[in-house]
Structure 1
Amino acid sequence: MSRHQLDCRRLLCPMPVIRVQDRIAELEPGDELEAVCTDPGVMQDIPAWCRINGHTVLEQKVEDDEYILRIRVEDVD
């Protein structure tokens, strides 16, 4: 397992979700991706994408006007 960070600051919907999707496609099952965003919509959009695609949101938090989501990549054949 490895951890990765993705900077989605200053991106508006749907770009944060698309960037998360593209990055997760490059990762291995068990890896974790932390997405740092400034669009509050990601707090609903990214978890919805994860539910549809079988990945797990481990943590969601807000710090200094940034929305941070930590996702575990699952094996989704």
Structure 2
Amino acid sequence: MSESGKKVVDARGLSCPGPITNLTKVYRNAKNGDVLEIWATDPGFKSDIKAWIERTKNELIELKEDKDKIVAVIKITAKK
């Protein structure tokens, strides 16, 4: 994790399943309490990230459109 405790995953320009695949790679090394912020441009990412959150049981802190990207902020809470 970076000094701020937030890891940014830049998946802009990738289409499904690219953003979720990149997120999952980073998630494997994350610990409970870590915050992941993922940037994507694929419009399907909004529904994909909601499904990923439901499946992994982590916490979606924020999901928004920010200028030219979709931003999801996730707190890791379900690592075993």
Q: Please indicate, yes or no, whether the TM-score normalized by the shorter chain is above 0.5.
A: yes
Counterpart residue number, 2:30: 27
2: CA distance between counterparts of 1:43 and 1:75?
21
Aligned to 1:61: 64
Q: Residues 1-77 of structure 1 correspond to what in structure 2 (within 5 A)? A: 2-77=5-80
Aligned-pair Cα RMSD in Å: 1.3
Q: Which runs of 5+ in 2 are unaligned?
A: none
Report how many aligned residue pairs link the two structures: 77
Note the alpha carbon deviations across 1:34-71, whole angstroms, 9 max, x for none: 00111111111012111111111100110112000000
TM-score, L = length of structure 2 = 0.88
Identity %: 29
